[in-house]
Amino acid sequence: MLMATDIGFIEYVSEQIEGSEEIHLRKMFGEYMVYVNNKPLLLVCDNTVYIKKHECLKELLKDSNTGCPYKGAKEHYILDIDDRELCKAVIGLVEPIVEVPKAKKK
């Protein structure tokens, strides 16, 4: 049975990626989307950090585990959140290419 991400883990994720970027979290169904500079970069499900398989990450994360964050999702890289330098490198590569989501019209 899958468990929702606990608050202690998501706080740890935030600490590991903190720096000069603006970070905020959005809780969704007990899990979290981590936004960096208003861009959705990391998905945290069941105390595991996922990032989409962007082409720019292919070489850097070639030895990383992969998995699906939820049923029906595409395969993502599983980010080793304990490796602070790796996390910063991943965010540095992905943040410039991800767009800020457009506001939905009401």
Show the domains of the chain with their CATH numbers: 7-94 (3.90.1150)
How far, CA to CA in Å, does 7 sit from each of 15, 27, 93? 12, 10, 27
The one-letter amino acid at 100: V
Q: Looking at residue 2, what is its pLDDT?
A: 56
User: Any residues with CB less than 8 A from the CB of 78 and at least 6 apart, and which?
Assistant: 48, 49, 50, 64, 65, 66, 67
The predicted model scores a pTM of: 0.90
pLDDT in tens, 66-105: 999 988 899 999 999 999 999 999 999 999 999 998 887 7
pLDDT of residue 48: 96
**Cα gap 94→35, rounded to integer Å:** 12
Rounded to an integer, what distance in angstroms lies between the CA atom of residue 81 and that of residue 78? Answer: 9
Q: Mean pLDDT over residues 30-40, rounded?
A: 93
What's residue 20's pLDDT? 66
Confidence grade of residue 1 (pLDDT, cut at 50, 70, 90): very low
